Amino acid sequence: MGRVISKSGAIRSLGAMSGTSLDGVDAAVIETDGQEIFDFGPIAYRAYSEEERETLRSALGQWHGSKVDTAAELVTRAHAEVLSEFEEVDLIGFHGQTLAHEPRGRGTLQVGDGLGLSQALGLPVVWDFRSDDVALGGEGAPLAPFFHFACAKWIGAQEPMCFLNLGGVGNLTYVDPSFDGPEAPGALLAFDTGPANAPVDDLMQARLGLPMDQDGELARGGTVETGALELFLAEPFFNRMPPKSLDRNDFSEMIDLVKELNDADAVATLTGMSAAGVVQGMEHCPKPPSRILVTGGGRKNPVLMEMLRVSLDCPVGPVEAVGLDGDMLEAQAFAYLAVRVARGLPTSGPGTTGVSALVGGGVVSSPARGEVVGG
């Protein structure tokens, strides 16, 4: 059982993320006051089984109905399993699983029952992080940037730099650490860069029954088909000014652009598209960044990383180079954001989601009191 959340001082917060790759639940503890990172704590991972992944996949793009309910139950159960392993935690930040994201349309949907988790675990749970931002006209994503600002301070960055997350979707955060906090205009610029691993994973699954192109082995032997790459870059998304965000399957028709290609060329071309989206996105950085630190599963794909290195004129490397954990950064982000919500601090702003003013989203559910909106 955790302590009562105080108004100041360090909180041990446990964050959990079920990302767009549908691979599993990442969970990680951090100690923070909602501004500074004091320490990183234990981590855990709970993979989805093949059957569970299929259940989630079949609910993607749906807003209600039995598939959504089944997915939500599965997400809540998987989180309860992994989160109950942790001890000495004060607060939980529960992202849930995004099934649909249409910020300028029907909204954004992250499934999983935060109130039920709170009651099962006996701890306050912060959840539904994105809805308020969307309701106020923001993209609702990406939300990790306020945490990236704290990470830049934690690593002692002095110059503008970028964090690049290569998950199912890619997202980039430009951080200028000369500002005092993430709320300051100009401290952050963030947006989704395009699809990252999702199209490669989908093609590998459809053609070869494999979940990913492990270590870029197939792409390494293929050639990028430039015609398909040009068609991809002609998509209106790439001409839009940031902030901007994507749903996992917004670019699922990319697979059609490579349908005539052999497996190696098709995967190489989809990998090249992911890299090209990032390269295009880098043009929006207000100043040239001193380095790009890469997080998410795509940093383990040497072919994708090499494509980025040859096209970008600043050092590109995994976040492990500065002592961060690229498998856990998103879970840590939602642990950090939970503390900000509990303390009434904003979690997004004009530079990160395009919302017109700072927003502190999120719902706080406590086991005793039920649901309380806001921090």
Ligand X SMILES: Nc1ncnc2c1ncn2[C@@H]1O[C@H](COP(=O)(O)OP(=O)(O)OP(=O)(O)O)[C@@H](O)[C@H]1O
Ligand Y SMILES: CC(=O)N[C@H]1[C@@H]2OC[C@@H](O2)[C@@H](O)[C@@H]1O[C@H](C)C(=O)O
40 close to 332: Cβ distance less than 8 angstroms: yes
Give the containing element (helix H, strand E) for 12: strand 11-18
Closest separation in Å from C-beta 244 to ligand Y: 10
Residue 252 burial (CB count, 10 A): 15
CB 158 within 8 A of CB 245: no
Q: Which stretch binds ligand Y (CB under 6 A): 85-93, 166-174, 213-221, 358-366?
A: 166-174
- For residue 178, the minimal CB distance to ligand X (Å) is 28
Any known ligand binding at 108?
Answer: no
* Residue 21 among known ligand-binding residues: yes
| Chosen from ligand X, ligand Y, none, partner binding at 144 (C-beta under 5 to 8 Å by type) | ligand Y
Residues 240-269, interacting with ligand Y (CB under 6 A) = 245
Does 141 sit near ligand Y (CB under 6 A)?
A: yes
As a whole number of angstroms, the distance between CA 337 and CA 245 comes to 19
d(CA 345, CA 336): 11
Q: Which among ligand Y, ligand X, none contacts residue 14 (Cβ within 5 to 8 A by kind)?
A: none
| Contact status: 142 vs ligand Y (CB under 6 A) | yes
Residues 82-111 that bind ligand Y (CB under 6 A): 98, 101, 108
> In whole angstroms, how close is the CB of 303 to ligand X at the nearest point?
8
Decide: 196 and 274 in contact? Cβ < 8 Å. yes
Q: Which of ligand X, ligand Y, none has residue 214 at its interface (CB below 5 to 8 Å by kind)?
A: ligand X
**How many binding residues for ligand Y (CB under 6 A)?**
17
- Binder to ligand Y among 132, 176, 213, 330 (CB under 6 A)? 330
- Residue 143 binding target from ligand X, ligand Y, none, CB below 5 to 8 Å by type: ligand Y
Task: For residue 17, report the phi and psi dihedrals to the nearest 5 degrees.
Answer: -130, 130
Stated as kind and residue range, the H or E segment containing 317 is: strand 316-318
**Residue 105 in marked binding region:** no
Secondary-structure breakdown of the chain: helix, strand, coil percentages, each rounded to the nearest 5: 40, 25, 40
- The 10 Å Cβ neighbour count of residue 35 is 17
In the bound complex, what is the minimum distance in angstroms from residue 240's beta carbon to ligand X?
19
Annotated binding site for ATP: 19-26
